[in-house]
Structure 1
Amino acid sequence: MKYLSLLLFLVSITIAGQNDAIAKDYYNKGEFEKALHEYKKLYAQSSSNINYINQIVSTYQQLEQYDEAETFLLNILERINYPAFFVELGYNFQLKNEPEKANTYYNKALASIDVNPNHVFGIARLFQSHSLLEEAITAYNKAKALKPDFNFNLQMAQIYGEQGDLEKMFTSYIEFAVSSPIALNNVKRAINDFITEDSTNDNNIILRKILLKKLQEDPNLLWNKLLSWLFIQQKDFKKAFAQEKAIFNRESESLSGLEELALIALNDGQEDIALEIFTYLINTAQDIDTQLSAHHNILLLRTKLSNKEDFPNIKAQYNKIFEQYGKLPQTLDLQISYAHFLAFYDDKPEAAAQVLDHALDLPLNALQEAKVKLELGDILLLQEKFNKALIYFSQIQRNLKNSTISQEARFKVAKASYYKGDFKWAESQLNILKSSTSQLIANDALELKLLISDNKYEDSTQTALKLYAKADLLAFQNKKEESIIWLDKILKGHKTEPIVAQALYKQGQLFEEQSHYEGAITNYELIITNYRDGILVDDALFHLANIYIKQFNEPEKAKALLEQIIFNHADSIYFVDARKQYRALRGDAIK
């Protein structure tokens, strides 16, 4: 009997849930008569359910049956002590264009807070749902005066935002973060909707002034953290650096904020400030790992920005670090990057291989050993010793099955086969990698798979695809000028084949890396004009827009391109960034 009762109870809950969904569906479709009928049935089964009561009232109002709504609410108020219904009754009179009666009931709702401050939650929520924002604020302030431990900063921030009172909104969000530090990231997300990358935007200025005033009045680290975050959004990394240093000087437990800032600046292309922060980390950090990571990032950056005249100095810096810290497992990442520099920049692959061979003699764990072998395989690919490279990649796959680095090794096996022109074997490996746990590897695998499958049948000899693979290999070998020349062979000799779009895009990227922006513009424009239905058009639009922004300071041209992504390519991976950049270029005053 006990189990039968439980079963009947569960069945009744299921049926009620289904009926609720039916009622909501009718309401959302504007079929209010049907919705009212369903909600009345639900109310008959559960006459104290606040949601059903509210929905019946709302449905009456949608049908303009205000008298029926009034009668229903008055009956409810006789039976249930829930003063929030005074708000609903007042709003019903407002809809009937009887403002005096409406205010009478609004005041009754507010007066009930004096009796029990806990009534504020339902009352303020209903005021806000009917856009009675001043009344909602009055309710919250009244309850807080009676019960100071109540915290309505979050709710009031949202109301001030709806009113467009940005100063009060920012202040309320900030005060909420003070009382609930765990919610700081949520506060940042809420504030982020109202600011832009433009430091001269009115909203940005308001927020900055509030934080600076708070900092003067009370040296709370939260103000420094929010100022640093604001400066990062504005890409003013130098000012963010000053705030992060202030945080570290008072809270010396971690340099993680400075490390993160340096990497953000680096990824945004602000190399000078990134170098300054990494240098500060080297001089300030007490732990060796932080120092080594900073050294590593500095050398990677200097290598990226270098020319042949800089190579002796870069080598000297690597060797100075090895003299200071030793060639130990702790400096393994530096040893690998040094080998990469020797092979791919200084044209000394044999010396690079020696560095890595010595590294393999160190007491490494399986993952560290795999990282060394991965780089050794790359150096062999650089030398076009494909079969020897495959040995190292296969060892990684065998020793660290199903790991991310194993999947990376499989991808390199596919790339080696692709470089050799063995497209069938490359495809078989790429098919496996499409479901890789690493999204980056999966995306790269799918991209290469599509390149091969879309072009291998176009020509029985696969001449154009082989030319492209050769150009791709040259780019991997850091022989960018030669790669550009090989891509030209496709553009001139295979004009009618689909691989032309890919060749234009690859060449455009190489032109950008060579700072040959006019060439890049030409290529991207050809893709946009001639391949507007292809998969690369959004890539071309985004890259072209960024050239106009960063290299030529032509925001109007950039806006037109970003607009095309926003309106014609909503599924593009660039959509979010394009919209953000477009709004910044337009100088939106976000409210």
Structure 2
Amino acid sequence: MIREQANRYYQEQKYDKAAELFKSLYNDTGADAYFEYYLRCLVESADYKTALKTIRQKFRESKRPKYLVWQGYVYSREGDNKRAQESYQQAIDGLQPERSRIVELGNAFYTLGEMDWAARVYQEAQKKFPSQEFHYELAQIYFRTRNYPLMLNAYLDLLKSQPKALTIVEGRLMTAFYYDIDGELKDEMQKTILARLQAQPGNVVYSKLYVWFLIQQKNYSAALSQALALDRRTGNEASILLNLAQLAAKGGAYSEALRAYDYLKNRKGDNSYREEAQLRQTQVAYQHFLADFPERRTAVDSLDQLFQETFHQLGEDRYTLFLMEDYARFLAFYRYQPDKAISLLKKAEKMQGLNQAQRGALKVELADCNVCAGDYWEAVLLYAQVDKAMRGTALADEAKFKRAKLAYYMGDFNWVKAQMDILKGSTAKLTANDALALSLLIESHEAPDSLNSDLQMLARADLNLFCNRTEQALSVLDSLQQKFPSSDLVEEVLSRKAEILVKLQKYPEAAKVYSDLLARYPEGRNCEEARFRLGQLYQEKLNLPDKAKAVYKDIVLNHPGSIYIEEARKRFRTLREK
């Protein structure tokens, strides 16, 4: 209670009251922290006389040099810099070989903000007592003063004598990078570590640190080259390569990740990483395929072969379950062989030891594949089973939404609307948003006749999109637009057509459709996204920076409520500065 009150007075700058309480706490406990807070209160309230008297008495009792630092600090606050410097020097002159006392003295200067003197403590100690090292302490001081060259050299000196400190150094450098808003440290580290590597090419820990640094800069290609060279030299860096591959894949550097996995897979001798490398290489190859589809459409056969090779070598079991799910999705949505996918997933369902979440996820995948196979009633049954078995979970909400979406594909719009009202309250934000979008689509549509023919055609196009049959979806959308030119769904048609054309890399046609959509529906439901996507197309695919700049400027000036306004403003500034 007293401590909390003392802290409150201190925060409120009521130093007289705080001093009394901290003095009482110190007398009761003998804790140095309370004594130092007592001194701070005396100094802040300008009671220098009492502060000096208290410090001198404490120094006579303990002979600890840190109290000479406090004495100097009080002199400096009084404005007597000469006596302050004398006290500081007296403290350093009394250095003893006991490491804990050296660090205590350095910390006293550090705590009071006297960084030059704190550094001098450790520099003098290293001269007087050569068997002791204070590289870490010096690095901390240089970090505080943003003296990056000295900080880096101190850390490298530490690693030279203590290679096992690599993880600690990496952690401290990570903190330094976080605060390096001007980017000074990045350039300095590149220069410093390369100089060390040139001077000491055989020092493995410097090479490891350099790999780590390149990874932080997301320079995965250079990091991989360094890591491969290091492993060829030591034969002991597989864990670094595995971590690098995982980070590269996460950062979208798929080629580098695949190279790393391939190297790990083919390492000579007793290779404990071979199976995991094979597994992860296949997973990343699939991720690469998805990220660059349809550009990588020609990779379908080679990827299929890689999946089969992996299952041949590693088997189909719980260890490879996640890859079996990936392969099933690949078969159903990219090889257009849903029957094979269904067979694979049914085999996975028979595995022993699967938990409820794994079985639920398998059923949802199986239902999706049945949708693409045209077996809608089996899909409805599977979605319903997951919803019932896992009620209250995000997976259950996903299954419920997919079941409703299937009903939408089948034209049962009234049932869909009833389900969407429930799903709009889903705890899973993505599911709730999707449910809201589907509900608005159906509710806002004014049917031209009792059959909802245009909405049924849109649903059929959406079914084709779900199954990744983009050409068929585009054909249906064209037919809808021709058959119902006045339908209130034309905005949705144009939005979907533009997205498909982008996927098919037909960028000029996509830009034309987006422009048409914005001209016809300037305040439409899809106009915000259409406007921003049009700017992206001009900037990234069509190399029309002036047109992109005009679109972004329009968003910034005329659409202040747009969710894309910050990104548009950033892109506009970038283009304007070129």
With normalisation by structure 2, the TM-score equals 0.71
Aligned to 2:285: 298
- What are the Cα deviations for residues 287-317 of structure 1, in whole angstroms up to 9, with x where unaligned? 3343233234324534654565554454455
Aligned match of 1:131 in 97, 100, 113? Answer: 113
Given that residues 521 and 544 in structure 1 are in contact (C-alpha distance below 8 angstroms), is that contact kept between their aligned partners in structure 2?
no
Partner residue, 1:167: 149
Report the counterpart of residue 50 of structure 1 in structure 2. Answer: 32
Q: How does 1:87-236 map to 2 (within 5 A)?
A: 87-114=69-96, 117-145=99-127, 152-176=134-158, 178=163, 180-193=165-178, 203-215=185-197, 217=200, 219-236=202-219
Equivalent in the alignment of 2:412: none
> Is 2:229 aligned against 1:242?
no
* CA distance in structure 2 between the aligned counterparts of 1:78 and 1:381, rounded to whole angstroms: 86
Match of 1:282 among 265, 281, 301: 265
1:366 and 2:348 matched: no
Structure 1 distance, partners of 2:133, 2:543, is: 50
Q: Which residue of 2 aligns with 1:381?
A: 371
Asked whether the equivalents of residues 258 and 277 of structure 1 are also in contact (C-alpha less than 8 Å), the reply is yes
Q: Does 1:38 align with 2:18?
A: yes
Structure possessing the higher radius of gyration over alpha carbons: 2
- Aligned counterparts of 1:26 and 1:521: Cα–Cα separation in 2: 64
Q: 2:251 aligns with which of 257, 268, 271?
A: 268
Cα distance in structure 1, aligned partners of 2:56 and 2:141: 29
Q: Structure 2 matches for 1:279-428, cutoff 5 A? A: 279-284=262-267, 287-302=274-289, 304-305=292-293, 309-319=298-308, 332-360=321-349, 363-367=351-355, 372-383=362-373, 385-395=375-385, 407-408=394-395, 410-421=397-408, 422-426=416-420, 428=422
Query: Partner amino acid for 1:415?
Result: K
SS across alignment from 2:12:
helix
Query: How many percent of aligned residue pairs carry the same amino acid?
Result: 19
Q: Secondary structure at the match of 1:346?
A: coil
TM-aligned CA distance change 1:62 to 1:301, over 3 Å = same
Partner of 1:21: 7
Task: Give the superposition deviation at 1:411.
Answer: 1.5
Q: Where do residues 510-529 of structure 1 align in structure 2 (5 Å cutoff)? A: 513-515=503-505
For 1:476, which of 461, 466, 470 is the aligned residue? 466
Question: Deviation of residue 209 (structure 1)?
Answer: 3.7
In structure 2, the CA distance between the partners of 1:187 and 1:319, relative to structure 1 (3 Å rule), is: same
Q: 1:234 to 1:516 in 2, by over 3 A?
A: farther
| Alignment partners' CA distance in 1, 2:533 and 2:78 | 53
CA contact (8 A) 2:387 2:399 kept: no
How far off is 1:169 after superposition?
Answer: 0.9
RMSD value, Cα: 5.4
Tell me by how many angstroms 1:119 deviates: 3.1
CA separation of 1:45/1:327 partners in 2, compared to 1, >3 Å: closer, same or farther?
A: closer
The structural deviation recorded for 1:388 is 2.0
Give the 3 Å change call, closer, same or farther, for CA 317–72 of structure 1 in structure 2.
closer
Distance 1:281 1:51, change over 3 A: closer
- Tell me the SS of whatever aligns to 1:114: coil
Secondary structure of the 2:113 match is coil
Q: How many residues align structurally? A: 533
Amino acid of the residue matched to residue 425 of structure 1? Answer: Q
Cα distance in 1, alignment partners of residues 73 and 541 from structure 2: 53
Assess, with a 3 A threshold, how the Cα gap between structure 1 residues 223 and 465 changes in structure 2: closer, same or farther: farther
One-letter amino acid of the counterpart of residue 345, structure 2: L
C-alpha contact 1:318 1:338 (8 A) present in aligned 2: yes
CA 1:102–1:202: 2 relative to 1, 3 Å: closer
264-273 or 545-554, larger mean C-alpha shift: 545-554
Q: Is the 8 A contact 1:265 1:273 kept in 2?
A: yes
Q: Which amino acid aligns with 1:420?
A: A
Letter in 1 for 2:365: E
Q: Structure 1 residues 117, 276: CA separation in 2 closer, same or farther (over 3 Å shift)?
A: closer
Q: CA deviation at 1:320?
A: 5.2
Structure 2 counterpart of 1:224, one-letter code: S
The verdict on how the C-alpha distance between 1:251 and 1:523 changes in structure 2, with shifts beyond 3 A counting, is farther
2-structure distance, mates of 1:64, 1:135: 24
Question: 2:372 is matched by which residue type in structure 1?
Answer: L
Question: What's the CA shift for 1:86?
Answer: 1.8
**1:96/1:329 CA distance change after superposition, 3 Å:** closer
Q: For residue 266 of structure 2, give the secondary structure of its aligned residue in structure 1.
A: helix
Amino acid in structure 2 at the alignment position of 1:295 = T
The alpha-carbon deviation at position 103 of structure 1 amounts to 0.8
Q: Is the 8 A contact 1:538 1:574 kept in 2?
A: no
Match of 1:7 in 2: none
Q: Which amino acid aligns with 1:50?
A: D
How far apart are 1:107 and its partner, in Å? 1.1
- Normalized against structure 1, the TM-score is what? 0.70
Partners of 1:85 and 1:491 lie apart in 2 by 88
